[in-house]
């Protein structure tokens, strides 16, 4: 019995110490987070035949790093360095390239590295349609560089296993060469359907809603302007458009907000939660 | 042949009685199991992570097992002086080497199979289907492990346990880094260095020839030619190592 109490006592002390250490270390860790990241080419040699597992370890680090900064300062200075090391170790880590480039473009607003990462993917794994497709996607949706987007969508179509979607986007962007909300909506829907993680799905969902909101605003403004032209005055509300037969009904706001008239345009308001 | 199998059987039985054997195997299984719990953190890459970590755990712990147990394979017999008993019987010395090799080789193969079956169960829980290509990924590794056992036996015939273990580990590391030597040879301007590097590159075992894990995980299974060449390369290297080990062991004097 005495021995059992001693062991229990030791265990209690250890648990207490561990808890205290956890607190002390967490303060330090926040300050010294990723001060040094070894070069991928060196790690590749050190990892011997366990390169993929080490890449997976960096992937877990990457997710934690991203998650932590997403909830705190929303600054991601090490996002690309981690992805660079990770893809040096595992040159075919498709999801790290695609998901990583979206995060770089969307969250870090770092076009240079988002494109650099996808260029690296295309160099390492040149027969995948996904990389030029995502390059086209980023250029179309985030960077609004339609010429470049068309070039990369075309590149994606050259791969034998490229889906029809690549041809559609290429044709659309190439011939129209202008921003089209319906195309953007289709791209985001593709991203939503093919999302592998909850975060990716939620991001796509948000952009889908936002694009729908913009489509509604564009269409309502078009109708409003035709009303003003024919009736000669600005209506007080959108309901007047319905009463006069210009509009069947007001479309449902994707974010739960409402549309209103200001001048000769229709705007959107999202109530604060 | 009967004598070889008797030695192999005895080695097999002896190894299964060692505590270190069970500790390493247990750690291997634990690592496999832990990888299963990493999947909530892996954001969309659960399948890949469970495959990568599984294959790494299997190869890492079996290499460790071989280096630790294989380096003491002959020395135990010498330390316990049971070798004196064996060499007085009609058993030839080369039969001892081959028997010891087969004993350890068999135990590792069984261990790899057991771990892979467990790995398959974990894959099934994640993907709701088995992935038998993992067995293909591990097939060339069997020859890698055979070569490492051969190297350990070779050094055990004339050096101590610690040195043999060190050499086994060193050859494992060199074997996976050797392709950098070829790059060095290619860029080297000195003809002497070029020839020297190429000689070492082709003479030392290139264990990267047996590493297809990184490709199989992405569904890229090499063609038949690869399996014919890697099997031949592995078998010939093992035979060469066992043959040279036997030659040295036959000349060894036991005092």
Best mutation target among A48, A90, A91 (most B Cβ atoms within 10 Å) is A48
Closest by Cβ to A60, choosing from B42, B44, B60: B42
Q: Which of residues 166-205 of B touch A (CB under 8 A)?
A: 172-173, 176-177, 180
DSSP codes of every residue in A139-198: HHHTS--HHHHHHHHHHHHTSTT--HHHHHHHHHHHHH-S--HHHHHHHHHHHHHT--SH
Q: How confident is the model at residue A104 (pLDDT cuts 50, 70, 90)?
A: very high
Q: How confident is the model at residue A158 (pLDDT cuts 50, 70, 90)?
A: confident
DSSP codes of every residue in A88-103: HH-TT-HHHHHHHHHH
What chain A residue is nearest to B58 in terms of C-alpha separation?
A: A50
Contacts of A49 in chain B (CB under 8 A): 59, 176, 207-208, 211, 213
- pLDDT at residue A225, rounded to an integer: 92
Distance separating alpha carbons of residues A208 and A214, to the nearest angstrom: 10
Mean pLDDT (whole number) for A51-58: 88
Q: How confident is the model at residue A164 (pLDDT cuts 50, 70, 90)?
A: confident
- pLDDT at residue B73, rounded to an integer: 82
Reading phi first (left if > 0) and then psi (alpha if -120 to 50, else beta), residue A245 is in left
Q: What is the mean pLDDT of chain B?
A: 87
pLDDT at A29 over 60: no
- pLDDT at residue A105, rounded to an integer: 93
Q: How confident is the model at residue B187 (pLDDT cuts 50, 70, 90)?
A: confident
pLDDT at A35 over 60: no
Alpha helices, DSSP H, located in chain B: 2-16, 19-37, 46-70, 73-79, 82-88, 93-127, 133-156, 161-187, 191-203, 213-216, 224-251
pLDDT at A28 over 60: no
Q: Is A132 exposed, middle or buried (0-12, 13-18, 19+ CB in 10 A)?
A: buried
Distance separating alpha carbons of residues B11 and A243, to the nearest angstrom: 94
Question: Tokens for A109?
Answer: 């607003």
- pLDDT at residue A24, rounded to an integer: 66
Which are the contacts of A172, defined by CB distance < 8 A and separation ≥ 6?
A180, A183
Q: Is the CB of B52 less than 8 angstroms away from the CB of A55?
A: yes
Q: Is the CB of B214 less than 8 angstroms away from the CB of A48?
A: no
Mean pLDDT (whole number) for B197-221: 88
What chain B residue is nearest to A56 in terms of C-alpha separation?
A: B49
- pLDDT at residue A34, rounded to an integer: 55
Q: Strand pairing partners for A267?
A: A260
Enter the pTM of the model.
0.72
Residues A201-248: tens digit of each pLDDT? 888 888 889 889 989 999 999 999 999 999 889 998 889 889 888 888
User: Which helix (DSSP H) or strand (DSSP E) does residue A72 occupy?
Assistant: none
Distance separating alpha carbons of residues B62 and B104, to the nearest angstrom: 11
Domains of chain B by residue range: 2-251
For residue B143, the distance in angstroms to the closest alpha carbon of chain A comes to 14
- pLDDT at residue A31, rounded to an integer: 44
As a 3-state breakdown, chain A gives helix, strand, coil percent values, each rounded to 5, of 70, 5, 30
Instruction: Please state, for a pLDDT cut of 70, what percent of chain A lies above it.
Output: 91
Relative to beta strand A258-262, strand A265-269 is: antiparallel
pLDDT at B147 over 90: yes
Exposure string of B185-194, with b = 16+ CB inside 10 Å and e = fewer, is: beeeeeeeee
Mean pLDDT (whole number) for B104-115: 92
Mean pLDDT (whole number) for B160-186: 88
Lowest-confidence range among A41-45, A124-128, B22-26, B37-41? Answer: B37-41
Distance separating alpha carbons of residues B178 and B187, to the nearest angstrom: 15
Q: What is the mean pLDDT of chain A?
A: 84
Place of tokens 């694009």: A211
Q: How confident is the model at residue A175 (pLDDT cuts 50, 70, 90)?
A: low
Distance separating alpha carbons of residues B163 and B106, to the nearest angstrom: 24
Distance separating alpha carbons of residues A95 and A90, to the nearest angstrom: 11
Q: How confident is the model at residue B63 (pLDDT cuts 50, 70, 90)?
A: very high
Reading phi first (left if > 0) and then psi (alpha if -120 to 50, else beta), residue A269 is in beta
Cβ A196 vs Cβ B43: under 8 Å: yes
- Chain A interface includes B60 (CB < 8 A): yes
- pLDDT at residue A132, rounded to an integer: 94
Q: How confident is the model at residue A25 (pLDDT cuts 50, 70, 90)?
A: low
- pLDDT at residue A36, rounded to an integer: 63
Exposure string of A49-61, with b = 16+ CB inside 10 Å and e = fewer, is: bbbbbbbbbbbeb
Mean pLDDT (whole number) for B235-241: 92
Q: How confident is the model at residue A177 (pLDDT cuts 50, 70, 90)?
A: low
Cβ B213 vs Cβ B137: under 8 Å: yes
- pLDDT at residue B128, rounded to an integer: 87
Q: Is the CB of B41 less than 8 angstroms away from the CB of A92?
A: no
Q: How confident is the model at residue A32 (pLDDT cuts 50, 70, 90)?
A: very low
Cβ B140 vs Cβ B212: under 8 Å: yes
Closest by Cβ to B49, choosing from A45, A56, A99: A56
- pLDDT at residue A146, rounded to an integer: 85
Distance separating alpha carbons of residues B239 and B231, to the nearest angstrom: 12
Q: Is A66 exposed, middle or buried (0-12, 13-18, 19+ CB in 10 A)?
A: buried
- pLDDT at residue A72, rounded to an integer: 84
- pLDDT at residue B36, rounded to an integer: 77
Residues B7-16: tens digit of each pLDDT? 888 888 888 8
């Amino acid at each position: 019995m005495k021995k059992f109490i001693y062991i229990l006592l030791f265990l209690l002390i250890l648990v207490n110490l561990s808890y205290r250490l956890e607190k002390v270390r967490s303060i330090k860790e926040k300050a010294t987070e990723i001060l040094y990241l070894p070069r991928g080419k060196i790690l590749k040699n050190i990892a011997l035949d366990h390169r993929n597992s080490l890449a997976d370890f960096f992937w877990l680090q990457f997710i934690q790093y991203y998650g932590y900064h997403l909830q705190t300062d929303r600054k991601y200075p090490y996002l690309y360095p981690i992805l660079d090391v990770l893809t040096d170790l595992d040159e075919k880590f498709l999801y790290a390239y695609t998901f990583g480039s979206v995060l770089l473009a969307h969250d870090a607003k770092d076009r240079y590295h988002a494109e650099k990462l996808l260029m690296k993917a295309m160099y390492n794994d040149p027969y995948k349609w996904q990389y030029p497709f995502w390059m086209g996607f980023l250029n179309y949706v985030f960077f609004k560089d339609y010429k470049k987007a068309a070039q990369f969508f075309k590149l994606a179509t050259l791969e034998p296993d490229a889906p029809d979607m690549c041809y559609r986007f290429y044709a659309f962007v190439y011939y129209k060469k202008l921003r089209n909300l319906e195309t953007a909506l289709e791209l985001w829907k593709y991203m939503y359907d093919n999302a592998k993680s909850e975060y990716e799905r939620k991001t796509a969902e948000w952009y889908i809603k936002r694009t729908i909101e913009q489509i509604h605003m564009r269409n309502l403004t078009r109708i409003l302007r035709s009303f003003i032209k024919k009736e000669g005055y600005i209506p007080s509300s959108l309901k007047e458009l319905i009463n006069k037969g210009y509009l069947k009904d007001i479309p449902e706001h994707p974010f739960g907000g409402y549309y209103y008239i200001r001048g000769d345009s229709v705007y959107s308001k999202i109530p604060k939660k | 042949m009967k004598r070889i199998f008797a030695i192999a059987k005895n080695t097999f039985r002896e190894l299964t009685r060692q505590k270190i054997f069970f500790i390493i195997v247990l750690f291997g299984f634990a690592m496999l199991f832990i990888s299963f719990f990493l999947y909530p953190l892996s954001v969309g890459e659960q399948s890949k992570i469970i495959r990568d970590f599984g294959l790494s755990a299997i190869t890492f712990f079996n290499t460790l097992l071989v280096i630790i147990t294989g380096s003491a394979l002959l020395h135990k017999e010498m330390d316990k002086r049971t070798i004196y008993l064996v060499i007085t019987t009609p058993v030839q010395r080369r039969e001892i080497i081959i028997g010891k090799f087969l004993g350890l080789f068999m135990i590792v193969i069984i261990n790899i199979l057991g771990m892979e079956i467990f790995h398959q169960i974990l894959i099934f829980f994640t993907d709701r289907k088995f992935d038998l290509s993992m067995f293909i990924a591990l097939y060339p590794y069997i020859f890698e492990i055979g070569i490492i056992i051969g190297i350990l036996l070779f050094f055990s015939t004339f050096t101590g346990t610690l040195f043999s273990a060190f050499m086994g580990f060193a050859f494992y590391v060199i074997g996976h880094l050797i392709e950098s030597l070829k790059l060095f040879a290619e860029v080297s301007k000195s003809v002497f260095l070029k020839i020297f590097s190429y000689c070492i590159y082709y003479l030392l075992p290139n264990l990267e020839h047996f590493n297809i894990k990184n490709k199989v995980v992405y569904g890229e299974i090499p063609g038949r030619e690869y399996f014919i060449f890697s099997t031949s390369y592995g078998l010939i290297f093992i035979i060469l190592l066992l043959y040279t080990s036997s030659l040295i062991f036959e000349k060894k004097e036991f005092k």
